[in-house]
Amino acid sequence: MRASMNIGDNVRVRGSARRARIIEDLGHSRYRVLFYSEPAADPLDRDTVEDEDDAGGIYEANDLEVVA
């Protein structure tokens, strides 16, 4: 794990393996992330916009892994 993470970094949530982007640094090694859409089997699902409340979360730095 890197010593620090920055807004805009792409990360993977360790517990769920979901990919996300850091959108806010809340301090004390806590970050708000916005999940990337997961490709769905149904094309209609791919075009459905997620409710922002369900599209992200707040995680501790040790729960996140920076990815390229």
Residue pLDDT, tens place only, 10-68: 999 999 999 999 999 999 999 999 999 866 544 555 454 454 456 899 999 999 999 98
Q: What are the residue ranges spanned by the domains of the chain?
A: 10-66
Quote the pTM value: 0.73
Long-range contacts of 51-54 (CB under 8 A, 24+ apart): none
Tokens 């149904």 locate to: 42
d(CA 68, CA 30): 20
* pLDDT of 5 over the 50 cut: yes
pLDDT at position 68? 80
Given this model, what pLDDT does residue 55 score? 83
